[in-house]
Amino acid sequence: MHKIARKEPKVVDLEIAFTKAGENGDLSAPRMDIAVLVPGKPGKAELVFCEAKCADNRELWDLEKLPKGAKSLPLPERSTAVIAQIRKYEQFIQAKQTRESLVGGYVSTCRNLMEISGQSRGRRVDDLVKQVTEGKVELSIHPYVYLLIYDFGQDEKEGRIKKKRLELKKEGVRTIAKGKPEDFQLANDILSENAKWTGSSG
């Protein structure tokens, strides 16, 4: 994650935990790996959440765990673990109240990043972060979570990774796959993949 973030100045948050109340009143904390700003139409920007997985992570390949107390679940009702995870995250961020809260929170985050960058010689902050802070760009939350897959060779890319990505696409999961984490150019990669899903060239 940190190798991906170091190459992308539009990344505004890492290892993000959100607390929410479940149906039974228990608190749970969806954890997403990366939040990145992506430019949109003039005067607009989207915050995109991403989940990052090594290619050998079992959650990419194994079925989701059974609910507590369940001894079995019909196979059609069990997804691959990562699909269930992404769906849970998307359900969370697509809720209207959550989106409004996230927008306000991340405008503040961008403001904090600008203040920190002005006080030190730390990580470079992208101009889009500044525009969000100044209100020149309206921020919204992208409704889909991107799955980033990395740490694999060329043979795997054309073999099992390609097959896995096609499987995930059929289930509506958006993916970006790079052999090495430092090969990601995250904002541009997301824009390119978005265009494939929407059928647009821009």
Give tens-digit pLDDT for 13-28: 999 988 765 555 454 5
CB 194 within 8 A of CB 201: no
The predicted-structure confidence for 47-82, as pLDDT tens digits, reads as follows 999 999 999 999 999 988 866 666 655 555 678 999
pLDDT computed for residue 176 by the predictor: 98
The predicted-structure confidence for 158-197, as pLDDT tens digits, reads as follows 999 999 999 999 999 999 999 999 999 999 999 999 999 9
Residue 75 CA neighbour count, 13 Å, CB half? 1
Is residue 104 situated within a structural domain? yes
Run of H or E including 87: helix 81-94
Task: Characterise 25 by phi-psi region: left (phi > 0), alpha (psi -120 to 50), beta (else).
Answer: left
Q: Count up the domains in the chain and report the number.
A: 1
Is residue 119 situated within a structural domain? yes
The predicted-structure confidence for 33-46, as pLDDT tens digits, reads as follows 999 999 999 999 99
pLDDT computed for residue 27 by the predictor: 47
Is residue 160 situated within a structural domain? yes
Closest CA to 30 of 96, 118, 100, 102: 102
Is residue 15 situated within a structural domain? yes
The residue range of the domain holding 184 is 2-67+77-197
Q: What are φ and ψ of residue 52, in 5° steps?
A: -110, 135
How is the chain split among helix, strand and coil, in percent rounded to 5?
45, 25, 35
Using DSSP, how many helices (H) and how many strands (E) does the chain show? 7, 8
Is residue 94 situated within a structural domain? yes
pLDDT computed for residue 140 by the predictor: 97
Is residue 202 situated within a structural domain? no
Confidence of residue 152 (pLDDT cuts 50, 70, 90): very high
Is residue 48 situated within a structural domain? yes
The predicted-structure confidence for 85-132, as pLDDT tens digits, reads as follows 999 999 999 999 899 999 999 999 999 999 888 776 667 789 999 999
Is residue 72 situated within a structural domain? no
